[in-house]
Amino acid sequence: MDGMITANRLSDGLVVFLDGNGGWTEDFHAGAVLADAAAKAAALATGAASAAANEVVEPYWIDLEPRGGRYVPKALREAIRASGPTTRRDLGKQAQGQAPDFLKIAAAEA
Amino acid sequence: MYRYDEFDAAFVSARVSQFRDQVDRRLTGELTEEQFRPHRLMNGLYLQLHSYMLRVAVPYGTMNSMQLRKLAEIARTYDRGYGHFTTRQNIQYNWPALKDTPDILEALSSVEMHAIQTSGNCIRNVTADHFAGVTADEIADPRPYGEILRQWSSMHPEFTFLPRKFKIAVNGAPHDRAAIQAHDIGLQIVHNEAGELGFIVYVGGGLGRTPFVGKKVRGFLPERDLLSYCEAILRVYNLEGRRDNKYKARIKILLHEKGLEGLTKAVEDEFAALDQDALRLPQSEIERIRAYFALPDLAPRPSESARVTRRRGKDSRFDAFCRTNVTPHRAPGYAIVTVSLKPLGGAPGDASAEQMDAVADLAEDYSQDEIRVSHEQNLILPYVALDDLNAVYDRLASMGLATPNAGLVSDIIACPGLDYCALATARSIPIAQRLAQRFGDGARSREIGPLKIKISGCINACGHHHVGHIGILGLERAGEETYQITLGGSGDETASIGQITGPGFSSETIVDAIDTVIETYMGQRTSAEEGFLQTYRRIGMAPFKEALYERNAGSDI
């Protein structure tokens, strides 16, 4: 199962994703897609260390799935976290071009 | 309205300093998240889906224009230009940064506001009838008691770590607009046979995953014993309430397990054993607090306004607004105006900073500088002269705040749901938006008549779906949002918990299903005067079930 590590940044609470360099990014597209158990375990350890260092709060794994040729969070909850409120497209990551834009993908598939 | 004395001001100011220090220690790593969490929760700060969320108390839903302007300023300066008014008569900000929250709390304290005890396992913000003090049918204003309870419960050393949160509501009119029987303690102001003022005391109401209507533990509690009796209830709950399972920790479960007789006896025994003098309310103190809430000096005015009558005759939208959003006032020549935060297609309870400023200006110009927040997520201008209605309406309309739908089908309570909330299992706001767009605020909605639809995005029931005439509960099943319907709920003096119709509906079909419920009601009602609840209580669930699941085959779950 493909996935990614996510958390909320301590200082402002914004949603962040673990990137390939062990840092955090606000942009879902810049997050590291992890494909195997070893990578998942290592990334979770990196996340836990970052939480212990008071950079982020409660890092955890989210499942991803390929849709429309790109990875998107599998759970609606995580898709909304990675995008912003579905009722306010002018707010959150979607307003900054950082979202997986699952709504557009869903609309295209419908 | 109530103004802080030196003790209030010192207390709130000290709390801001304490919280600033706690935030500093968290940001530098001196406190872990686990250590910090109880501190932030006691100051109304949650961590939600997208960001932190700060819940600010509006005690018993009353504030002045200076306070509302400050809320607007905070929305602009520290948030994203808007706030969300809630069923606790509070306001929530959805995007504050942790590092800014001490400054936000300091800004709040400058206008005698705070976020203390808006979260955590303590006595929460006391709520009251949003028409308190101005409604024509009132026995007594509930807000002085709300204020007395607020002072008693703020940082009460014995009740700071209760088994679970604890909510108190006070209502002062025969018609319950504060949903008191859905609270841990519900206080209904009454006169006894001797004409003395006191309370009917309900205990153990609550929604969530195990909904109960409150049970009457006292038919008449003298006014002077308010705090002693509440202390006795809280003490029994604090000692005997379960701490092993958060889902069974509310007082409603204790009542259920002990039985009404058992709990009542325990409370009465505790009450009898208390030092009766220590908490007995001196009449002078009640009067001192009551004076803050006295009806302002309102210039006598004719009980009808010719200019309003003239305009109603030629402006159908204004006429509709007067029918639904204008309520009779206890003072002749005045009216209570409901400012709708339910524009068709909007998020129930949301107000932009500009809208908050506009309402603050209107309150200053036309409503004795006072605003109320209703638990139905609207704002209220409580002292509008009838002759000023035209001007107030025009200014509200120019800000998108004059939707003529108070109490109608599109005046929906909805929790933030999965669009914002970390606990939610499904979205609420989009369902409210689609329902409002389906039924509109025009002729069809008026034909349907008064109707309360309430939507929760999870079993915790923040959207009060259990007490909606029509309730909608959003759940997640196999990765998809699904919506359960309940019918026959009521949060008023005839309180009842809605019954589930049957299998749930998908996001795509839920609006049609509600349409079917409403059409069934309209087909079955004896006249336009028979409300949804009356019809449901007369005919029961069967016709609705048949329409939902047999005739239309609407369910797809």
Provide the terminal-to-terminal Cα distance of chain A, rounded to the nearest Å. 25
Distance of CA B492 to the CA centre of its chain: 13
Compute the distance between CA of residue B74 and CA of residue B94 in angstroms, rounded to an integer.
12
Q: How confident is the model at residue A105 (pLDDT cuts 50, 70, 90)?
A: low
CB contact under 8 A, A58 and B33: yes
Closest CA to B85 of B303, B379, B324: B379
Which residues of B are less than 8 Å from A54 in CB distance?
A: 26-29
Please state whether B44 falls in left (phi above 0), alpha (psi between -120 and 50) or beta: left
- Chain B residues within 8 A of A86 when measuring between CB atoms: 419, 427, 430
Structure tokens at A14: 């914004």
Residue-wise pLDDT for B223-266, tens only, equals: 999 999 999 999 999 999 999 999 999 999 999 999 999 999 99
ipTM passes above 0.85: yes
Q: Where are the domains of chain A?
A: 3-109
Instruction: Tell if the CB–CB gap between A11 and B80 is shorter than 8 Å.
Output: no
Q: Does B103 touch chain A (CB under 8 A)?
A: no
Triad A23, A27, A30: Cα angle to 5°: 60
Rounded distance between C-alpha atoms, residue B434 and residue B428, angstroms: 10
Task: List CB contacts (< 8 A) between B95 and chain A.
Answer: 13, 91
Instruction: Name the helix (H) or strand (E) containing B396.
Output: helix B389-398
- In Å, how far is A10's CA from the nearest CA of chain B? 7
User: Can you list the domains of chain B with their CATH numbers?
Assistant: 6-109 (3.90.480.20), 137-292 (3.30.413.10), 306-398 (3.90.480.20), 413-551 (3.30.413.10)
Give B542's pLDDT tier (boundaries 50, 70, 90).
very high
Q: A108 — contact with chain B (CB < 8 Å)?
A: no
For B413-476, the three-class secondary structure string (H helix, E strand, C coil) is EECCHHHCCCCCCCCCHHHHHHHHHHHCCCHHHHHHCCCCEEEECCCCCCCCHHHCCEEEEEEE
Helices then strands, counting H and E runs in chain A, come out as: 3, 5
Query: Chain A contacts of B49, Cβ < 8 Å?
Result: 15, 77, 80-81
Please determine, for residue A7, whether its predicted confidence score (pLDDT) is greater than 90: yes
What is the percent of chain B where pLDDT is above 90?
96
Percent of chain A beyond pLDDT 90? 81
CB B424, CB B431: distance < 8 Å: no
pLDDT at B273 over 50: yes
Name the minimum distance, in Å, from the CA of A73 to any CA of chain B.
Answer: 12
> In the beta sheet, which residues pair with residue A73?
A64
Tokens in use for B381?
Answer: 């201008």
Contact B532, B521 (CB under 8 A): yes
Edge to edge, the sheet with strand B215-222 lists: B127-128, B168-171, B185-191, B197-203, B215-222
Q: Would you list the DSSP string of B89-102? A: S-EEES---GGGHH
Residues present in chain A in total: 110
Which candidate from A12, A74, A91 shows the least CB-CB separation from B80? A91
Question: Torsion over CA of B83, B86, B91 and B93, rounded to 10 degrees?
Answer: -50
Nearest by CB to A76, which of B29, B80, B481?
B481
Q: In this complex, do A54 and B27 lie within 8 Å of one another by their Cβ atoms?
A: yes
> Is B551 an 8 Å CB contact of chain A?
no
* Average pLDDT for A17-36: 96
Q: Say whether residue B52 is in contact with chain A using an 8 A CB cutoff.
A: yes
Q: How many Å apart are CA B79 and CA B388, to the nearest integer?
A: 34
Of A10, A74, A75, the CB nearest to B98: A10
Torsions phi, psi for B226 (to 5 deg) = -50, -55
Q: What is the mean pLDDT of residues A32-41?
A: 95
* Distances in whole angstroms, Cα of residue A2 to Cα of each of A31, A33, A46, B281: 12, 7, 17, 64
Those residues whose C-beta lies under 8 Å from the C-beta of residue B163, and which sit 6 or more positions away, are B121, B237, B238, B241, B242, B243, B249, B250
Using 50, 70 and 90 to split pLDDT, how confident is the model at A110?
low
Give the whole-angstrom CA distance, residue B142 versus residue B390.
30
The answer, yes or no, to whether residue B274 has pLDDT greater than 80, is yes
Cβ pair A85:B476 closer than 8 A? no
Q: Give the residues across from B334 on adjacent strands.
A: B385
- Pick the closest to residue B462 from B400, B391, B377, B519 (CA basis): B377
**DSSP 8-state secondary structure symbol assigned to residue B118:** S
Residue in B50, B99, B481 nearest the CB of A92: B50
Residue range B287-316: average pLDDT? 96
A41: which residues sit within 8 A by CB, 6+ positions away? none
Q: Is the dihedral of CA B556, B474, B458, B45 positive or negative?
A: positive
Q: Is B197 on the interface with A (CB under 8 A)?
A: no
This prediction's pTM: 0.96
Half-sphere exposure of B138 (CA within 13 A, CB side): 23
Enumerate the H helices of chain A as residue ranges.
37-52, 76-83, 102-109
Residues of A with Cβ-Cβ distance to B476 under 8 angstroms: 76
Report the residue from A8, A86, A91 with minimal CB separation from B47: A8
Chain B positions touching A15 (Cβ under 8 A) are 49-51
